[in-house]
Amino acid sequence: MRSAILLLAVSALACLAAAQQPPADAAPHPVDLSLNARMARARTVLLKQKIGSDIPFTLITNAISEWPRFTVVDARDKADLVLEISSPDDDSTKSKDEAKTHFGSSSGGTTQQQEAAKPTNWETTVKMLVRDARSNAVLWSAEEKPKSAFKHAKQADNLTAAADRIVRRFRALVEQGPEAAAPPK
């Protein structure tokens, strides 16, 4: 009985496999490439700043632009990869006028002032997502937490260091493979 069921299952699988094979004259379907193959074939990138300080975005943009491996393009339809960068805000991107908006209303001769909060950037790390430009699939991501600092100059240095670590990991990924791009422990 068991051998009959097993024989029936094997023959059913063989029929399904034969039915799924394309005819010999049919055009082959494109093969879904692995991460390594997609990175190896990519030649053009689009850089996008999602949110946060300009410091990491500028550093990453300069590093990619100076690297002869990629050409930076200005439109998604021209790109092989899309690099999305987000980071914490630094103090230079905020002004006191942006932080508060005053609404005046008269009530019994007094003016009430309310603060309207601007959307807050909750990012605490510098992040880079690498997406396939055509499928929008995330191929790789990295994040680095910059050290905290009270002074603006030190904060900028820490954002720069975090962005630099991400760039080094991305270069290692493209040049040497996923094992080389693993975050340090």
Question: What are the tens digits of pLDDT across the range 12-67?
Answer: 666 555 555 555 555 444 555 676 678 778 999 999 999 999 999 999 999 999 99
State residue 97's pLDDT score: 40
Domain boundaries, the chain: 33-89+122-185
Does the pTM of the predicted model rise above 0.95? Answer: no
Q: Which has the closest alpha carbon to 65: 175, 167, 146, 143? A: 167
**If DSSP codes are grouped into helix, strand and coil, which group holds residue 56?**
helix
DSSP secondary structure letters along 71-130: EE-SSGGG-SEEEEEE----GGG--HHHH------EETTEE---PPPPPP----SEEEEE
Domain 33-89+122-185 has CATH 3.30.70: no
Where do we find the tokens 């991107």? 93
